[in-house]
């Protein structure tokens, strides 16, 4: 029965995202009403009581078990851009015995072991499957109850949440003692308008959001963090690739090099974090850039980014809101902790977010503290939620499953290890005419990367 499914939408409190999640909730409930069925429970994760780590899901298992453990059969998780055919979803879940432990989803796997998964299953990474959240995934209530019990006696060990879908699958798998992910072909990430989706219970509706005209080039100030030792190899890559897309760009270093040119912020380079440098950049943006420039992007000198796509993405966000946008990681979320935007993929700030941060007096506890984590801590203390976009990437294209990247038009990648960064940029991130004409997903030849 439909009323036995609890739908959990991975929502966010930013106005753009919360509206999309509310629209999906309305659509699910309307489909249920049109069927004449008793309405299911549909929950938005960002509305769940004051839990900074709610997006990591596992800390909510005990609540799910207590609240829904007796009268429900399934908890179905999806993203705000997942589209659900309720009748087909009912038929699909109906194939599985809900009194047993099931972990269902569209299977992703690593083709080679990767740093973002701590080189797990190094001998053969393809053996371990984890769910593509965009397609939706489901846990049977007996498994939810088991996880709730396990979490009570065995709290989450890892301090960091880096790739949630992989970490949840590992926790459920329990070194082989728990259930593996069961692949479900009806959970799909094909575009909702694709001819392939007839059999699908779920589809995916958004490769790159666009909400009206892209923001102007002059609305984005780009700050590149560099240091003298990388002027010769990393900066030329930026100049060969994405620099021409940026109308306002400055390079911040520990040495003033007029040929680039770089600006010496008077802060020595450190081998660990760059908190001092980043806060100096925030101060400079606040005090010395035009107040009419609403957006700041801070990237590393080995970040590859599409400013062209970022302009589209930012059309969906209100610069009058405090926005802190990028790829979300978590620290210590099982025990309080905070979320943060990981720096290598690029950190995007609305001017008002920068102003609120600087007014708060929250600062680096040391000059070489990790800047992205300190920023996460500061914004958490201010009650300003970070905003996650899966289109920003802390690692290289080869570090992500092909199936995961297939439903994205990415905004950034990071690192130059063992790749040709110029080739990666022109394969994955460069604007091209077809894309700029109609916003459609384009067919890249990415197989050799």
Residue 210 CB neighbour total at 10 angstroms: 15
Class of domain 217-429: alpha beta
Cα–Cα dist 56/165, whole Å: 9
pLDDT tens figures, 28-55: 999 999 999 999 999 999 998 767 889 9
Do residues 414 and 436 make contact, with C-beta atoms less than 8 angstroms apart? Answer: no
Cα–Cα dist 336/270, whole Å: 29
Residue limits of CATH 3.90.550.50 in the chain: 2-204, 217-429
Do residues 82 and 14 make contact, with C-beta atoms less than 8 angstroms apart? Answer: no
Do residues 141 and 211 make contact, with C-beta atoms less than 8 angstroms apart? Answer: no
Cis-peptide, bond into residue 268, ω within 30° of zero: no
> How many Cα neighbours within 13 Å face the side chain of 48?
22
pLDDT tens figures, 208-258: 999 999 999 999 999 999 999 999 999 999 999 999 999 999 999 999 999
Our measurement of the distance from residue 405's CA atom to the centroid of its chain's CA atoms, rounded to an integer in Å, reads 12
**Topology given in CATH for the domain delimited by 2-204:** Spore Coat Polysaccharide Biosynthesis Protein SpsA; Chain A (3.90.550)
Closest listed residue to residue 339, CA positions, set 278, 294, 268, 387: 387
pLDDT tens figures, 75-85: 999 999 999 99
Q: Is 401 exposed, middle or buried (0-12, 13-18, 19+ CB in 10 A)?
A: buried
Do residues 224 and 250 make contact, with C-beta atoms less than 8 angstroms apart? Answer: yes
Q: Is 101 exposed, middle or buried (0-12, 13-18, 19+ CB in 10 A)?
A: middle
Using DSSP, state whether 110 is helix, strand or coil: coil
Residue 334's pLDDT is what? 79
pTM for the whole structure = 0.95
Residue 431 CB neighbour total at 10 angstroms: 14
């Amino acid at each position: 029965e439909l009323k036995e499914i609890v739908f959990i939408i991975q929502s966010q409190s930013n106005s753009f995202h919360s509206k999309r999640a509310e629209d999906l909730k309305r659509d699910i409930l309307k489909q249920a009403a049109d069927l004449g069925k008793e309405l299911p429970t549909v929950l938005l994760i960002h509305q769940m009581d004051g839990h900074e780590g709610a997006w990591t899901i596992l800390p909510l298992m005990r609540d799910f078990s207590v609240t829904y453990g007796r009268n429900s059969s399934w908890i179905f998780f999806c993203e705000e851009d997942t589209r659900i055919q309720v009748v087909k979803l009912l038929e699909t879940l109906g194939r599985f015995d809900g009194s047993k432990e099931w972990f269902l989803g569209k299977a992703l796997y690593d083709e080679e072991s990767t740093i973002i998964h701590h080189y797990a299953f190094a001998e053969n990474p393809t053996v371990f499957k984890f769910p593509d959240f965009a397609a939706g995934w489901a846990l049977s209530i007996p498994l939810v109850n088991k996880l709730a019990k396990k979490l009570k006696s065995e709290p989450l060990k890892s301090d960091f949440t880096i790739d949630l879908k992989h970490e949840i699958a590992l926790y459920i798998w329990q070194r082989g003692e728990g259930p593996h992910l069961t692949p479900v072909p009806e959970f799909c990430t094909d575009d909702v308008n694709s001819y392939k989706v007839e059999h699908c219970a779920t589809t995916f509706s958004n490769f790159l959001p666009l909400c009206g005209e892209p923001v102007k080039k002059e609305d984005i100030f780009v700050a590149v963090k560099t240091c003298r030792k990388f002027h010769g190899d990393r900066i030329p890559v930026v100049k060969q690739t994405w620099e021409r897309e940026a109308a306002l760009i400055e390079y911040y270093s520990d040495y003033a090099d007029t040929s680039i040119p770089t600006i010496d912020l008077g802060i020595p380079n450190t081998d660990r974090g760059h908190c001092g440098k980043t806060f100096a950049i925030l101060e400079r943006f606040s005090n010395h850039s035009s107040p009419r420039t609403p957006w700041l992007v801070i990237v590393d000198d080995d970040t590859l980014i599409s400013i062209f796509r970022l302009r589209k993405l930012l059309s969906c966000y209100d610069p009058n809101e405090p926005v802190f946008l990028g790829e979300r990681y978590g620290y210590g979320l099982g025990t309080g902790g905070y979320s943060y935007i990981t720096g290598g993929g690029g950190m995007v700030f609305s001017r008002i977010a920068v102003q609120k941060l600087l007014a708060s007096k929250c600062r680096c506890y040391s000059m070489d503290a990790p800047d992205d984590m300190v920023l996460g801590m500061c914004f958490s203390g201010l009650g300003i939620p970070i905003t996650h976009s899966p289109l920003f990437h802390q690692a290289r294209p080869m570090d992500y499953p092909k199936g995961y990247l297939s439903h994205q038009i990415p905004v950034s990648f990071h690192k130059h290890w063992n790749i040709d960064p110029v080739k990666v940029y022109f394969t994955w991130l460069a604007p091209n005419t077809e894309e700029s004409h109609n916003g459609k997903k384009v067919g890249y030849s990415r197989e050799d990367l």
